Structure 1
Amino acid sequence: MRMKVYQSKPRITLSPAIRDGQKYVEVEFDEDDAIRLSLSKEKGVRFEGDRAYLPEEGFDLSGFFDRHVETAYINYSALKNTLPK
């Protein structure tokens, strides 16, 4: 029986943000090329340092989670009750 060895993953933290009067989901991430590359494929993404901003309108938390959970641990607790249903 082979056991999987736990390897710590980089972290992504999601939180609400307003930039230039528009609502965004702020994606703070550990500096990691794989995360940056993966996030660069998101629709409407803007990067500023170790943060990315995704337009809140049309943001799908479930889809985001599915696309990035293999790459990083995702903390979305700050988004609870802030996204439209």
Structure 2
Amino acid sequence: MLPLARWSLESLITVAAELEYIDASLARHAQALRESRNLIHPDKHLRERSTPDGHLASISQQVVRAVLEALARRTAVGSR
């Protein structure tokens, strides 16, 4: 098994959902955000003709915040 620091983002999201640190719906949103993050690559950006804007950035921030808040709640001392 790889050390945690070498896990892919996809694996981290999947395991967080399997361990119920985040719910399945939030995991799907996080995976979609991960895929959209990949559009930053210039070649892929051109091929897919993506046009990220302020609205997409706002949605992305909301997904990240939701994941972080869910992880914070689940890993808080005494929450188990």
TM-score class, shorter: under 0.3
TM-score normalised to structure 2 length: 0.26
The structure where strand makes up a greater share of residues is 1
Return the index of the structure with the highest Cα Rg.
2
Higher relative contact order (CA 8 A, sep 6+): 1
TM-score normalised to structure 1 length: 0.25
